[in-house]
Chain A
Amino acid sequence: MIIESTLRPENAVSRTTVNAGDHYIGVVKRGQTLRILDLEGNQAADTLFFSAADTAEHYSAMDTVREQGAVYLTAGSKLISSEGRTMLTLTADTCGRHDTLGGACASESNTVRYDLEKRHMHSCRDNWMQAIVNHPEYGLTKRDITHNINFFMNVPVTADGGLTFEDGISAPGKYVEMVAEMDVIVLVSNCPQLNNPCNGYDPTPIELLVWE
Chain B
Amino acid sequence: MTHDAHYTTHLPGGHHWSLRLRRGTTLTLTAKQADSNVGLLCYNPENLLERLNLPDTLKAQHTFKLTQGHCLYSDMGRIFASITHDDLGWHDSVGGNLMPHHLLAKGWQPVSYQQAHNDWTRTGFDAFLVELAKYGLGRRDMAANLNLFSRVESDDAGKLSYVSDHCQPGNRVTLRFEMDTLVLLHTCPHPLDPAADYPRRGVDIALGIAEAPNEDDPCYRSRPENARGFANNRLYHLGL
Contact = CB atoms under 8 A, between A and B. Distances in A.
Interface residues of A, number: 48
A116 B159 contact: no
B144 to A, nearest CB: 5
Given A71-B154, A103-B55, A106-B77, A112 B232 contact: yes
A125 to B, nearest CB: 8
Interface in A59-117: 60-63, 65-66, 69-72, 82-84, 97, 101-104, 106, 108-113, 115-116
**Main SS of chain A's interface residues?**
loop
Interface string A144-157: 10111000000111
A148 B157 CA distance: 21
B160 A63 contact: no
Contacts of A134: none
A66 B58 contact: no
Contacts of A8: none
* Band of interface residues on B: 35 or more
B64 A163 contact: yes
Interface stretch (A50-58, A182-190, A200-208): A50-58
Which of B55, B90, B232: most chain A CB closer than 10 A? B55
A116 B90 contact: no
Name the residue in A109, A112, A158, A159 with the highest tally of chain B Cβ atoms < 10 Å from its Cβ: A112
Contacts of A136: none
Contact of A106 (B56, B95, B153): B56
A62 B144 contact: yes
Contact of B95 (A66, A115, A162): A66
Which 5 interchain pairs have the tightest Cβ spacing?
A103-B55, A108-B77, A62-B96, A161-B65, A72-B158
Interface of A: 55-58, 60-63, 65-66, 69-72, 82-84, 97, 101-104, 106, 108-113, 115-116, 125, 142-144, 146-148, 155-159, 161-165
